[in-house]
Chain A
Amino acid sequence: MATKNELTEKAKNIRRDIIEMLGQAKSGHPGGSLDLAEILSVLYFDVMNYDFGDPQKEDRDYLILSKGHGAPALYAALYEGGLIEEEELATLRRLGSRLQGHPDRKKLPGVEASTGSLGQGFAIAGGIAMAMKVQGKPNRVYAILGDGELDEGIVWEAAMSAAHNHLDHLCAIVDHNGLQIDGANDDVMSLGDIGAKFASFGFEVFHVDGHDIDALKDVFAKAKEVREKPAAIIAETVKGKGVSFMENDPGWHGKPMSDQDFAAAKAELEG
């Protein structure tokens, strides 16, 4: 159990680490990484049963970053937990690094699934939850999806299967920032009512402000109480959260920062 102050501090550090990594890498995805800071802070440092000293521990909860392009946020959280050394942050996206452009489970302990091809991580999470069920284990599985990622058919195949198999250890978190690459979700491919969609597939659905630490703690606690069906948490987020010139701008999905952008972003996050 961590205090609100501690979790807020972790989220702040995660944002700072993300910008540091991406600024040095001169490529990568700032928008969809920054908006994950609070969700990852609350999951890793409060909600999940997770021992950073032993990332393969049998009783651990699993976190699958299905939107694999948010990798810098995942690496930042693992760094804050002590799984990654500070010097290594500068190697993001470089030849030979464990910090691949998209999470690679062969390379880095703490990465449970190799993701990057959208949609598959959520289905993998369902498979892990099935394994836990078969083995009668209590481990929970958290899968973080982008809202654009919901366009993929496999997401709904996985949703159907999760409900059918009563995967109450599975919790989907939708990072609902309203944007994908080509623009706003609803301009590219209308998503309709995401909550209603998951509910109709047999999920218990929750809504939360994805940047509100207390609300996140509360919603994860509620999701844990759900029995006999999977949970879906629709988290309202701001893409690029914390760096004003990146916020709500689809252009910052995968744009490299110039030296000035990098300095400006750092200055905002230090303040």
Chain B
Amino acid sequence: MEKIATREAYGKALAELGKEDPAIVVLDADLSKSTKTNLFAKEFPERFFDMGIAESNMAAAAAGLAIGGQTVFMSSFAVFATGRCFEIIRNSICYPKLNVKIAATHAGITVGEDGGSHQSVEDIAIMRALPNMRVFVPADGVEADRMTRYLAKSEGPAYLRLGRSGQPVLFNDDYQFEPGKAAVLRDGDDVAIIACGLMVAKALEAADLLKEEGVSAAVINASTLKPFDEETVAAYAEKCGAIVTAEEHSVIGGLGSAVAETVAKRCPCRVGMIGVDDLFGQSGRPDELLTAYGLTKEAIAEKAKELAKTK
């Protein structure tokens, strides 16, 4: 199966967008080879600023560039881009609702060997809590490409969460990304698996496992975390009566929380959450870490079965 990292797709799309839109400027903080903004930098050196290892300044300067009329993309690792810069993003980007896109790579535990200091498991939670912020988590390289293109044209703050490791390509070239819409990739009646990011591929595999055991599982790609598609989630809560969420993020404040908040308001049903259980990451190979933290197709299927049986 073809694999591509979402950061790779982002970098390529950005370099192409630079041609179409002269208003785009890109900022990085001494990680341009890793975030892939170096592809844009090569084509448009006059519109690329390496801000050095100074993420806070980068975020506030991004706000200034936006006030000055530019469309700004800023990139670093997710842990620094959101964590180090949080209050600046809040007060200088979201509060004034400026046109800054935070495209953060190396999100989640699949950062791997660098370890817990570099593995962001809380970025969705903190970005989602900010008024005026929109949050996007692509399921594969194709969706990352479409989201990047969408964000270049859509005014206002946004957070794009990207990964380090190569992931299976799920979508065809004619894939259309619909912002704000949770896409039903596979329909089912017994349980709905709602996933984002690299867990979408695992959710599809889990649905296959479940099918063998006679459990009909819907699989939904909730790639827009905010604004959240409450309609689709409520409809599947009603239809299936049980939901399992799957995300490469803490179970606190991320997709699982967004789903739980929605069903609590709209159509209460049991929600099982597959994610990082209120723990920091650690060094290890990405695949080993996913297993160690229980982010596997088997864990999704197990939880789905349990919920489908007891609903």
Contacts and interface: CB of A to CB of B under 8 A. Distances in A.
Interface of A: 25, 27-28, 68, 93-97, 99-102, 104, 114-119, 148-149, 151-153, 180-182, 188-189
Given A93-B283, A95-B292, A182-B30, A148 B53 contact: yes
Interface in B4-49: 28, 30-34, 38
Given A148-B53, A189-B51, A104 B116 contact: yes
A149 B53 contact: yes
Contact of B288 (A95, A101, A180, A188): A95
Given A117-B117, A151-B30, A182-B33, 9 more contacts: A25-B113, A27-B112, A94-B284, A95-B292, A101-B113, A102-B115, A149-B53, A151-B53, A182-B30
B114 to A, nearest CB: 4
Contact of B117 (A96, A97, A102, A188): A102
20 contacts: A27-B113, A93-B113, A93-B283, A95-B283, A95-B288, A96-B284, A97-B283, A100-B117, A101-B117, A101-B118, A101-B283, A102-B118, A116-B114, A119-B53, A148-B53, A149-B53, A151-B30, A151-B53, A182-B33, A182-B38
B189 interface: no
A23 to B, nearest CB: 14
Given A93-B283, A95-B282, A181-B33, A152 B53 contact: yes
Given A28-B113, A95-B282, A180-B30, A189 B118 contact: no
Contacts of A119: 53
A101 B33 CA distance: 19
B115 A118 contact: no
A94 B115 CA distance: 9
B117 A68 contact: yes
A49 B288 CA distance: 40
B80 A117 contact: yes
B116 A100 contact: yes
A203 B15 CA distance: 44
B79 interface: yes
Q: Kindly state the interface size class of chain B when it binds its partner.
A: 20 to 34
A217 B52 CA distance: 32
Contact of A153 (B38, B54, B285): B54
Interface of B: 28, 30-34, 38, 50-54, 56-57, 79-80, 84, 112-118, 282-285, 288-289, 292
B175 to A, nearest CB: 33
B32 A95 contact: no
Contact of A148 (B52, B57, B114): B52
Contacts of B32: 182
B51 A100 contact: no
A28 B50 CA distance: 23
A104 B117 CA distance: 9
Contact of A180 (B38, B53, B113, B289): B53
A25 B79 CA distance: 23
A115 B113 contact: no
B30 to A, nearest CB: 5
A69 to B, nearest CB: 8
B115 A116 contact: yes
Contacts of B30: 148, 151, 180-182, 188-189
Nearest 6 pairs of A and B residues by beta carbon: A189-B52, A116-B117, A95-B284, A151-B52, A101-B115, A151-B53
A76 B141 CA distance: 39
B246 to A, nearest CB: 21
B295 to A, nearest CB: 14
A100 B282 contact: yes
Nearest to A107: B282
Contacts of B283: 93-95, 97, 99-101
B83 to A, nearest CB: 8
B56 to A, nearest CB: 6
B78 to A, nearest CB: 12
B196 to A, nearest CB: 25
Given A95-B283, A100-B283, A181-B31, A189 B114 contact: no
A93 B115 contact: yes
